[in-house]
């Protein structure tokens, strides 16, 4: 099954330090969650990798998502990543787990 954003809201957002504990996001209005903004791209990336090696997913994340993210600079650096402010990067193993589980559901 193709994962939906609500699958993330019902699981990861409830645990996210930027959430209110019940799935609602508490990021300031002028900040965007990179996971939410790039959700479809994240799903497609994880679906494409399909590996038992986490490094393959991490590499694909940097190449397919971070490379087109407004928070990454021309040198490939990201202040949000460096300060653990990106939920996608912070919870990436859990994101993989949630999305892979949904993809396996027929």
Give residues in contact with ligand SF4 (CB under 6 A): 12-13, 16, 18-19, 25, 27, 33-36, 65-66, 69, 71-72, 78, 80-81, 86-89
Task: Give whichever of 52 and 55 is closer to ligand SF4, judged by the CB atom.
Answer: 55
Closer Cβ to ligand SF4, 52 or 74, answer by number: 74
Shortest CB 60 distance to ligand SF4, Å: 12
Q: How far is the CB of 99 from ligand SF4 (least distance, A)?
A: 13
Distance CA 6, CA 24 (A): 11
Burial 4-41 (b: 16+ CB within 10 A, else e): eeebbbebbbeebeebeeebeeeeeeeeebbbbebbee
- Joined together, the tokens standing for residue 53 give 């090696």
């Amino acid at each position: 099954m193709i994962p939906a954003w609500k699958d993330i809201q019902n699981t990861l957002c409830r645990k996210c330090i930027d959430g209110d504990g019940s799935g609602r996001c508490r990021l300031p209005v002028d900040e965007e969650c990179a996971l939410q903004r790039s959700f479809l791209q994240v799903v497609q990336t994880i679906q494409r990798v399909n590996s038992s090696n986490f490094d393959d997913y991490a590499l694909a994340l940097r190449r397919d998502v971070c490379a087109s993210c407004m928070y990454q600079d021309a040198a490939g650096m990201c202040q949000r990543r460096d300060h653990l402010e990106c939920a996608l990067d912070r919870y990436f193993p859990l994101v993989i787990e949630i999305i892979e589980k949904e993809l396996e559901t027929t």
